[in-house]
Amino acid sequence: MKNLFFLLIFPAFLNAQVDFYQIQPRPKITYNLERIVPQMGLQFGAGFFGGVGDQLQFHYYDSVFPQKGGEKFLWGGRQYWDPDLSWRNKYNSWPEDRSEAFPLSKSALVWVTDGWHLSNSLERTAHRFTIITYVQPEGPRKFWKKAIDFTLLTLSYSAGHVAAEALTTKN
């Protein structure tokens, strides 16, 4: 009796399931760019600050940042922007006195001591704001919408990085 069920009824059941899935039209992907534009701006900023940090760390002598003692860029001179010198700003009097130059200068407030830490902190802050403000896509085909979001956010970050390199490199 069981064999008769599997031979006659089960194939009919499978056929009905296949027909059910073939009848339903696949939903179209509708994408709303307005949902992700603020996060794209944040990621552009994160990429820009990441690019500034890379420029300071790896290409300082080819950059627009102060190369001589008397030059200024924004609020700081070479002592603030040059990574070969600026890391000492968090200490009282390196190497004799390795204590903090001011409270929390070696930890929570290290971002005020030099340009590299400032750009690094701004990059991470932009990433954090992107995470907390990101709105998940809704509706059908969420995976593809998230894939589009990921691609747009990655391109925005990369564009910011390229912009920083272009703006901070000497001609």
pLDDT by residue, tens only, the chain of 171 residues = 556 555 556 566 555 555 555 566 777 777 888 999 999 999 999 999 999 999 999 999 999 888 887 778 887 888 889 999 888 889 888 888 888 888 988 889 889 899 999 999 999 999 999 999 999 988 788 899 999 999 999 999 999 999 999 999 987
Q: Which domain holds residue 72?
A: 2-168
Tokens standing for 50?
């990441």
- Please state the φ and ψ torsions of residue 10, each to the nearest 5 degrees: -60, -45
Q: How many structural domains comprise the chain?
A: 1
97 forms beta bridges with 93
Backbone dihedral angles phi then psi of residue 167, each to the nearest 5 degrees? -80, -20
Identify the pLDDT of residue 123.
98
Judged by DSSP in three states, 26 sits in coil
DSSP conformation letters of 64-129: SS--STT--BTTB-HHHH-HHHHGGGGEEETTTEEEESSTTTTTTTGGGT-HHHHHHHHHHHHHHH
* Rounded Cα gap, residues 57 and 161, in angstroms: 14
